[in-house]
A and B are shown apart, each in its own frame.
Chain A
């Protein structure tokens, strides 16, 4: 078990910068998820933590020790790969024991560790099969078992669930979370799936173009995204972002004016510091509202004209136009029908504002 510090780490291939000064620091037992689209540098960063790629500049420390020049085997880590990377000609048992064999663990201890891992992951009956005889989920378990027997300071997961079908993905997600709860080992987990990130992480680092856009606990990333990119990437459906103009309301707090087909509407009581409010007063801003923060109301609210309705079962998604774009509201089933006019309230304390030029969050 250990802390992990990624300190001003850079990576470039020739003139191309893949990572531009990444700073991330997590405590012992944290579950860090590196979240981003393909090509954002998250897998490169993971490989650098593992020691499979050189660090161009900066330092990576595990448990306070600098790892830059250590080979992968001396970093006390274990890794689970997207393709599982099971050795095809070895049985499951041999796969799990391979690393221990190289480290010179005596056979009796090897067998004991393998059995313990097999019991924990419920794969005792698979030990004498070859990887080709296993299903995707079983291979995933074996890959996890191989990592577990190492008893590392740090687990690294590289998109471990993306080759599984939807149902199995949810099951294995729970399995990984259970593993983390039971072992308490620090985990770094790479994914492009924001739901995996939200459900698993204690800390999320949202990455794009080699830059960490937002690093924080999942709820913070969800509620107060650092910029519009993070706001749009996390959450499904994404956060609605529309143009508005900022005013000072009657109560002296921030108030956003948005245009609706029915006329201008105002959302008041938006949390914002006085200084920012002062400097942005009367200027255009971007208004960010999560779909679930709309609700039907009989009192004051926004009068909208529903364009399309998408029932999902638990909710109904109502699409309507607002400001310069389309907005989705998550309402109760049968709360809306296409072509209907609705009056919606907004949870104003959950509204987030962004600067239209830099797209960064305003506080």
Chain B
């Protein structure tokens, strides 16, 4: 009996070892590119050209980071990523707020104030989720031209807001549908109107899905390259396009350390958003799955 128990425990421990071993190995493999990016960005250019790619830097230097941020040349202008980073912020913040806000109202109307054909409207909105963005480039360019917004950050805000609504509406609609209709009825009897119910009752209850919508939109819009490269040029491009330009346009030796640092800088905001709000993200995605 005792030996049976012991051998059972040993095989259990071996199983555990195998599980954790393979998890660690796969995680390491997955994190490899990030590792290369970090160590490369901390090396001097000479060291990169002299030594290995993966090893730790002999002397840690943040020169590449400050160059990527402030002095790297894009075209003829040598001001680093900073102005484009700010462009991206100016684009992403209003676009996230607008698209999430409109999505919230859409979801609220589509669940609590249904009208004839509201399901058709929802179906057509969903269509927007599956629309390849390449397909809308030309018509959108024409619209922006007519509105006098081509090549500008407000133009990009408009584009991202419009194409974000499909997803944000889907999020909010699927969340609000789990909130009982009786809540709206009770509020109506209490004397609350359309917006009062929305702001006092629905939105406070929708915090998890607001977080999901904001993270999703932030990631999508921040990381977008296609719209950025199509609808802006020169000084108004977002950071993703600027990063591409830094990497592609170099004189002399290719500056791997600056490229890596620039890529990290461009990726940091989305990483920060996930670290800060990731908990809510998972909670929001699973909310509504179980009625509570």
| Docked CA distance A98–B185 (Å) | 14
Residues of B within 8 A of A352 (CB): none
Q: Does chain B have a CB within 8 A of A79?
A: yes
Kindly name the residue among A85, A99, A103, A146 whose own CB sees the greatest number of chain B CB atoms within 10 A.
A85
Q: Which of A61-69, A70-78, A115-123, A229-237 lies on the face that meets chain B?
A: A70-78
Question: Which residues, 47 to 64 on A, are CB-close (under 8 Å) to B?
Answer: 47, 50-52
B252: Cβ under 8 A from any A Cβ: no
- Contact stretch, chosen from B6-14, B42-50, B90-98, B199-207: B199-207
The B159-201 residues at the A interface (CB cut-off 8 A) are: 180, 182-183, 185-192, 196, 200-201
Given contacts A89-B201, A89-B205, contact A72 B188 (CB under 8 A): yes
Residues of A contacting B292 in the complex (Cβ-Cβ under 8 angstroms): 132
Given contacts A50-B185, A52-B185, contact A89 B180 (CB under 8 A): no
Place the interface of chain B in its size category.
10 to 19
A280 is an interface residue with CB less than 8 A from chain B? no
Contact B189 A102 (CB under 8 A): no
Measured CB to CB, the nearest residue on chain A to B197 is A87
A73 x B186 contact (CB < 8 A): no
B204 touching A102, Cβ below 8 Å: no
What band does the interface of chain A fall in when counting residues whose beta carbon is under 8 Å from B?
A: 20 to 34
Contact status A81-B205, CB under 8 Å: no
Complex Cα–Cα for A132 and B191 (A): 24
Which residue of the partner chain, among A51, A72, A83, A99, contacts B180 with CB atoms under 8 Å? A83
Selected from B180, B189, B200, B204, the residue in CB contact (under 8 A) with A78 is: B189
List the B side residues contacting A52 at CB < 8 Å. 185, 188-189
Contacts of B237-292 to chain A: CB distance below 8 A: 292
Does A85 lie within 8 Å of B201, measured CB to CB?
Answer: no
Partner of A85, one of B186, B200, B205: B186
Contact flags (1/0) for B210-232 with A, using CB distance below 8 Å?
00000000000000000000000
How distant is the Cα of A160 from the Cα of B204 in the complex, in angstroms?
26
Residue of B nearest to A132 (CB): B292
**Which residue of B183, B190, B201, B204 is within 8 Å of A99 (Cβ)?**
B190
**A102 with B186: in contact, given A83-B180, A85-B180, A89-B204 (CB under 8 Å)?**
no
Give the shortest distance, in Å, between A13 (CB) and chain B (any CB): 11
Cβ of A54 to closest chain B Cβ, rounded Å: 13
Given contacts A88-B205, A89-B201, A98-B200, whether A83 and B182 have CB atoms under 8 Å apart is yes
Q: Please give me the residue from chain B that is nearest to A156 by CB atom.
A: B189
Take A89-B205, A102-B196 as given contacts and tell me if A79 and B186 are in contact as well, using a CB distance cutoff of 8 Å.
yes
**Chain A stretch 16-43: residues in CB contact (< 8 A) with chain B:** none
Q: How far, in Å, is A114 (CB) from chain B's closest CB?
A: 14
A102 to B187 Cα, complex, angstroms: 10
A73-B201 in contact (CB<8A): no
Taking Cβ atoms with an 8 Å cutoff, the residues of B that contact A are 180, 182-183, 185-192, 196, 200-201, 204-205, 292
The 10 A-B pairs with the shortest beta carbon distances in the complex, nearest first, are A99-B190, A73-B191, A89-B204, A85-B186, A85-B182, A81-B182, A102-B191, A72-B189, A72-B188, A85-B183
Beyond A50-B185, A50-B189, 4 additional contacts (C-beta under 8 Å) are: A52-B185, A81-B186, A88-B183, A89-B205
Give me 13 A-to-B residue pairs in the complex whose CB atoms sit less than 8 angstroms apart, sorted by A's number. Answer: A81-B182, A83-B182, A87-B186, A87-B200, A87-B201, A87-B205, A88-B183, A89-B201, A90-B204, A98-B192, A99-B191, A146-B186, A146-B190
